[in-house]
Structure 1
Amino acid sequence: MHMFGAGRFNRRSVLKSSLAALAAAALGRTAQPAEPALRNVNTASSPSALKITDMRYAVVVKPGPSPCVLIRVDTNQGVYGLGEVRDIAGPQYAMVLKSRIVGENPLNIDFLFQKIAQFGGNARQAGGVCAVEMALWDIAGKVYNIPVYQMLGGKWRDTIRIYADTTESREPREYGLRAKERKAMGLTWMKMDLGIEVLDGIAGTVMRPEGMSKWEMRDQPHPFTATEVTDKGIDRLCEYVAAVRDNIGYDMPLSMDHLGHIGVKSVIRLGKAYEKFNLEWMEDVVPWYYTDLLKEIREASPTPILTGEDIYQFSDFETLCREHAVDKIHPDLSTSGGILQTHRIGDMAFRYGLPMAMHFAGTPVACMANVHCAAATRNFLALENHSLDVPFWQDLVNGIDKPIVNKGFIKVPDTAGLGITLNDDEVKRHLKPGTGYFEPTPTWDEPQSWDDAIFS
């Protein structure tokens, strides 16, 4: 006989109650109300009658990467949800979805995600789908009066570790001092941007075809730029890493991003050169879709590699994990399908033995979506933050403990939904010039194409 909590599972009592229910039905009586599951739930509205009535947006500038588009999904019962389109993307990514969700019950989150998922894509093309998904979870939490993480299965942690970039400098010494300042803020995890741009003007450090511009290099995937780092260049780059390590020590993780569009062999050579600095990872060393090249680098480099911030499809993450092409994954929740799918991606990666860090750049709205997902995901490592130097960043929202980032951690809120409301006055102070604050959006009331017939 099994034990469940303080009571026993009694098959005899279950059989007895079942027979009683059948007898009541035979006599034409109803044994229990039709919705017993809601009897003890503190609902903020009537879930079965809830409908989406509108979606509007506001564009905020300078909260870090800019602009950032906030959306608000309204319902017929006064409950609304907040979401955010991924940084440096336009409102159209979200607003094209308005006609697809108005009239629907926002609590059918997975159904609505599948309905609008076709409008998402890699990188910022997924921003609208993910923003809507965030807002739906915010609504659901408010309706049932529970935090989002609880609806994902509960939390593994009460606080979320964050990591932050250290801005580049042409001088290694200055680079190291900037990292030291970050550590003094209480951070327990650091990331440095260090690419071949710092080698510009130093002869004999980078081999590339004469006349190739920076933009040509940015527009071509890494294997097609014919750009390699020389021994001299590697030695110079190591001076930067050494300066950072000298200032922050070896008692905290240090990650690296933005190596530059260099060849696979140069990445491997850098991975070997950086081994002595015990980097936590090198990020996005080649485009994520070159699975075999990533695997080649991972197997040859003693420095771990990581990717994922531009991946939308669950299946693409699973390919990387199944093939062990990376050491860690790095989804951006505003691209990787939103809260639920990112949580599922983490669970999948856990089964393959891979941890999950999370990429994030934006306002506290998307930040809180990440916080709830990270709290509920077992193999989570750390969450990125690009706004530590933005004085008004945390003032954009209310309802959460301040400072939001406290000595390198964010406390997981226990209030309903995402756990925040907008500070209307502060958001209005930072609107993109010429734009309004959640103004009506009739332009998007009707579908502008016939491409969702499968759900019509």
Structure 2
Amino acid sequence: MHVTDYELYDVPPRWQFLRLETSDGRVGWGEVYTKWHFAGDSEPATRSAVDQLMHQYVLGEDPNRIEYLWQAMYRSSFYRGGPVHMSAIAGIDEALWDLKGKAAGMPVYELLGGAARDRIRLYQHVRAHGRDDVPNPTTAAAEEAREHVESGYTAVKLVPTAGLELVDAPAAVERAREIVGAVRDAVGPEVDVALDFHGRTSKAMARRLASALEQFEPMFIEEPITPEHDHALPRIAEGTTVPIATGERLYSRWEFRPILEADAVDVVQPDVSSAGGITETKKIADVAETYDASIAPHCPIGPLALAASLHVDAAAPNALIQEQVVVGDDEAMRYVENEGVFEPKDGYLELPDEPGLGVSVDEDRVRELAGTNLGFDRSPGHRADGSVGER
């Protein structure tokens, strides 16, 4: 048996699905995170990377040799790593695991050592406070959070850092405190409220905000600074009892090592479709476990990426919670034929029980929508003085 063909589909809203086919007629699927790197107006840069990796290392090879193929795709590139290379590897890796699970008649997590849990907790995003068309963002955020809890979620996450200056006035801190406080009041003490600074704060403001928001007992503070400044994480962590989370912009176990060795992070957040796929993300989880750190995979993209994340969650004893954006979204779920795989109960998803990734892809719908509606605004964010800031 060997890999005979592949197809890469760019589908709305900005997702990239990879289909592998083998000589015995089996099909495996994976999802590549484009990271919003585009060549020209619409073609993701990851397309060229996937093409190169498939032709040089995967086509004609035995798909069961996942570790060998991963090492070939990674180490044969003299200039390696980063968002495009590791995302391309990730999509291929997920599709290979899907093939292997289907061949074995087992869910992927069974091949990773079996399930360490029966289900995985989800959180839902609170977005109303970040929209320009919302007249009262504080009230809107509280109402949205309450609705998520009423629908069964036991954890929500919000970004309280829009529009911050490098060193901002007390009023900016008070705005963040007001929004987070309103959400905490709306959901009560039994619900976790995670805060995502989204790398929008300087280290000075990150320390100030962490101190100001600690009273609301957040589940964690995510990405208080950008990865370029991860050397400052220990100082930020020392100033608060709130757990520190980061990692969506780190792409390998080697990039996580320094912050784990510095005891600067409590929750690591690799993206399975960005950090080298299931193979590498499971290794990141294992490394994190040796430092008593949890894993909460980043996943703001499609159903195949979520499925891949769930298999890592299932097999990793230190999995904490899972990000997702597709549950309950009809537009996102239009590519999935067995939608029941993503039906939450009491804020949890049951582990997939079908072979491979456990997702039946509607191939006709994927082909119908491929190549349409891939635009995404990546214009720079600006501070009040016109200088470029973080988005």
The two structures have a TM-score, normalised by structure 1, of 0.74
Which range moves more in the overlay, 313-322 or 401-410? 401-410
Question: What is the identity, as a one-letter code, of the residue corresponding to 2:294?
Answer: P
Shift in Å at residue 349 of structure 1? 0.9
Aligned to 2:278: 339
1:188 is aligned to 2:154: yes
Which range moves more in the overlay, 144-153 or 228-237? 228-237
Shift in Å at residue 121 of structure 1? 2.7
Shift in Å at residue 291 of structure 1? 3.6
Aligned to 2:132: none
User: 1:81-100 counterparts in 2 under 5 A?
Assistant: 81-87=28-34, 88=36, 90=44, 91-100=47-56
Secondary structure in 2 matching 1:129 = helix
1:309 is aligned to 2:260: no
* Contact 2:11 2:373 (C-alpha < 8 Å) held by counterparts: no
Which range moves more in the overlay, 235-244 or 422-431? 422-431
Aligned to 2:100: 140
Shift in Å at residue 97 of structure 1? 1.4
- Please, what is the CA RMSD of the aligned residues? 2.0
1:432 is aligned to 2:383: no
Aligned to 1:162: 122
Aligned to 1:103: 60
Max Rg structure: 1
Aligned to 1:450: none
- Number of equivalenced pairs: 355
Secondary structure in 2 matching 1:381 = coil
Secondary structure in 1 matching 2:275 = coil
Aligned to 2:82: 122
* Contact 1:86 1:335 (C-alpha < 8 Å) held by counterparts: yes
Q: Distance in 1 between matches of 2:299 and 2:323?
A: 5
* Contact 2:101 2:108 (C-alpha < 8 Å) held by counterparts: yes
Q: Distance in 2 between matches of 1:400 and 1:109?
A: 28
Q: Distance in 1 between matches of 2:291 and 2:23?
A: 43
Q: Distance in 2 between matches of 1:408 and 1:398?
A: 22
* Contact 1:196 1:259 (C-alpha < 8 Å) held by counterparts: no
Distance 1:78 1:391, change over 3 A: same
- Between the aligned residues of both structures, percent identity stands at 28
Q: Distance in 1 between matches of 2:255 and 2:344?
A: 32
* Contact 1:168 1:194 (C-alpha < 8 Å) held by counterparts: no
Q: Distance in 1 between matches of 2:255 and 2:373?
A: 39
User: 1:324-363 counterparts in 2 under 5 A?
Assistant: 324-363=263-302
Q: Distance in 2 between matches of 1:314 and 1:244?
A: 35
User: 1:54-93 counterparts in 2 under 5 A?
Assistant: 54-62=5-13, 67-87=14-34, 88=36, 90=44, 91-93=47-49
Distance 1:275 1:434, change over 3 A: closer
Question: What is the identity, as a one-letter code, of the residue corresponding to 1:74?
Answer: E
Which range moves more in the overlay, 179-188 or 383-392? 383-392
Aligned to 2:389: none
Q: What are structure 2's unaligned runs of at least 5 residues?
A: 38-43, 130-135, 375-391
Secondary structure in 2 matching 1:255 = strand
Distance 1:399 1:263, change over 3 A: closer
Q: Distance in 1 between matches of 2:223 and 2:148?
A: 23
Q: Distance in 2 between matches of 1:326 and 1:411?
A: 28
The two structures have a TM-score, normalised by structure 2, of 0.85
* Contact 2:244 2:266 (C-alpha < 8 Å) held by counterparts: yes
Q: Deviations over 1:115-168 (max 9, x none)?
A: 112565333542111000001111111112111101100001121211121104
Secondary structure in 1 matching 2:158 = strand
Question: What is the identity, as a one-letter code, of the residue corresponding to 1:60?
Answer: V
Q: Of residues 272, 275, 280 in structure 1, which corresponds to 2:214?
A: 275
Shift in Å at residue 95 of structure 1? 2.0
1:51 is aligned to 2:8: no
Q: Of residues 143, 146, 155 in structure 2, which corresponds to 1:177?
A: 143
Distance 1:280 1:136, change over 3 A: same
Q: Distance in 2 between matches of 1:60 and 1:381?
A: 30
Secondary structure in 2 matching 1:178 = helix
Aligned to 2:69: 112
Shift in Å at residue 235 of structure 1? 1.4
Q: Distance in 1 between matches of 2:339 and 2:169?
A: 50
Shift in Å at residue 260 of structure 1? 5.5
Shift in Å at residue 282 of structure 1? 1.4
1:422 is aligned to 2:382: no
Shift in Å at residue 402 of structure 1? 5.1
Question: What is the identity, as a one-letter code, of the residue corresponding to 1:56?
Answer: E
Q: What are structure 1's unaligned runs of at least 5 residues?
A: 1-49, 198-205, 209-226, 436-456
* Contact 1:140 1:417 (C-alpha < 8 Å) held by counterparts: yes
Shift in Å at residue 384 of structure 1? 0.5
Secondary structure in 2 matching 1:261 = coil
